[in-house]
Copies of this chain bind each other. A is one copy, B any other.
Amino acid sequence: MAGIIKERLYTPGPTPLLMEAQLRALTMTLHHRTDAFRALMRETLDNLQYYFNTKNDVIVFASSGTGAMEGAISNLLSPGERVLIGTAGKFGERWVQIAKAYGIESVVVEAPYGHPVPIAEMKKHLDGGKLRAVFIQATESSTGVRNDVQSLGQLVSALPDTCFVVDAITGLGTTGILPDQWGVDLMIGGSQKATMIAPGLSFASVSEKAWKTIENSKLPRYYFDYSKERKTLAKGESSYTPAASLVVTLNAALNYIKQLGRENLIANAALLAEATREAAVALGLTPFAVSSPANAVTSINGPAGIGSTKVVKDMRAGFGAILTDGQGTMQGQMFRIAHLGYYDFLDLLAVLGALEITLHKLGHKMELGSGVRAAQNVYLRQGN
């Protein structure tokens, strides 16, 4: 039947938009060199500190998250310095690529896809603090794995000349991270994730230790100059034209998140992720993330003999539900259902019910309704 089909994003970025935030941008009449914009920017920066759960300055760029990642490398490092990078997937590998682009030698500890970065292995390569920085993802969304930021932070914070950099682009709002207590010196975020708005803004929180390192670093940078941006942002300005409509929506979304509570946003993702994992098991499927699964996104191996690509395709064609396949070499292996940001339990019940129909039609043996029931039991078990 060619009935009504609504498109729904279940992707780990972009994520569903918070309509009340979108509407704020629709009605704005805002020039970015005005007191009104300065006040908005200051409030946004305060809200970002709340969202990041940090007392450190947070800076904002008109760029994707990768821009702020590049800035972390180009601002912290000088030619000839070395870094340690823990990779567990495509986004970890991006740190290696950026370092390489700047001629920075990196020591790489590589976890197999589906596993977190082994912190014991990272410890062996810290090299007595002679490295300038250590890089990791809070959650690796290409595999659906969470890394142990806290343990690595404790190791790195003991080294006075080594900064700890965390890509929390999908970790923020889905994973409890205490950057100030755990010694995270530089933490990156992006707008199209748990902040519930469109792509186009990146964020970085920077510790005093990192600012000191930045003062003395020598790699070239211009657009992503953290110190310059810190100074202009302190006046509520931005060095270059800010993505004003996105700032408006970001601030509105962060106000929503404050009202909801940062911890409740994280608990929401945790509930949805746990319910999805248990639903997958009930449906006779196996997780791609064999240990330490992330709350941001659940990665599930495609059913035996069917693969993931068909599942992703049929979910979209039949139900308008947009899941993601594995990235790069992982394509065909897993499908992923995201939980970061503006998702509620009904969003999950809907996608699981549709997934069951899709699996059934593809010939995967399972009991209809059993995945939904497993998710419902998680909901009830958590005392909801």
Closest residue on chain B to residue A376 by CB atoms: B368
Which chain B residues border A130 with CB–CB below 8 Å?
A: none
Q: Is the CB of B377 within 8 A of A267?
A: no
Q: Contact residues of A with B, CB < 8 Å?
A: 1-6, 8, 26, 260-261, 264-265, 267-268, 271, 318-321, 342-347, 349-354, 356-357, 360-361, 367-373, 375-377, 379-380, 382-384
Q: Is the CB of B382 within 8 A of A353?
A: no
A375 to chain B, nearest CB (A): 8
Cα–Cα, bound, A321→B349 (Å)? 13
A24 to chain B, nearest CB (A): 13
Q: Is the CB of B3 within 8 A of A268?
A: yes
Q: Give me the 8 closest cross-chain CB pairs, A-B, nearest first.
A: A369-B373, A349-B353, A369-B369, A3-B268, A346-B350, A350-B350, A368-B373, A4-B344
Cα–Cα, bound, A342→B353 (Å)? 19
A44 to chain B, nearest CB (A): 21
Which chain B residues border A377 with CB–CB below 8 Å?
A: 368
Q: Is the CB of A376 within 8 A of B351?
A: no
A256 to chain B, nearest CB (A): 9
CB contact under 8 A between A261 and B2, given known A372-B372, A373-B369: yes
Q: Among B3, B318, B346, B370, which residue has its beta carbon within 8 angstroms of that of A369?
A: B370
Q: Is the CB of A6 within 8 A of B346?
A: yes
Q: Is the CB of A353 within 8 A of B357?
A: no
Question: In terms of DSSP, what is the predominant structure of the interface of chain A?
Answer: helix
Q: Among B4, B264, B318, B352, which residue has its beta carbon within 8 angstroms of that of A260?
A: B4
A287 to chain B, nearest CB (A): 21
CB contact under 8 A between A343 and B4, given known A349-B353, A350-B350, A356-B376: yes
A84 to chain B, nearest CB (A): 37
Q: Is the CB of B320 within 8 A of A346?
A: yes
Q: Is the CB of A346 within 8 A of B321?
A: yes
A270 to chain B, nearest CB (A): 9
**What are 6 A-B contacts defined by CB distance under 8 Å?**
A1-B384, A3-B267, A4-B344, A346-B351, A346-B354, A356-B372
Which chain B residues border A321 with CB–CB below 8 Å?
A: 346
Cα–Cα, bound, A342→B5 (Å)? 9
Which chain B residues border A383 with CB–CB below 8 Å?
A: 1
Q: Is the CB of A354 within 8 A of B361?
A: no
Which chain B residues border A271 with CB–CB below 8 Å?
A: 1, 3
Closest residue on chain B to residue A373 by CB atoms: B369
A316 to chain B, nearest CB (A): 12
CB contact under 8 A between A1 and B349, given known A344-B320, A380-B357, A384-B318: no
Which chain B residues border A26 with CB–CB below 8 Å?
A: 26
Q: Among B2, B343, B344, B376, which residue has its beta carbon within 8 angstroms of that of A357?
A: B376
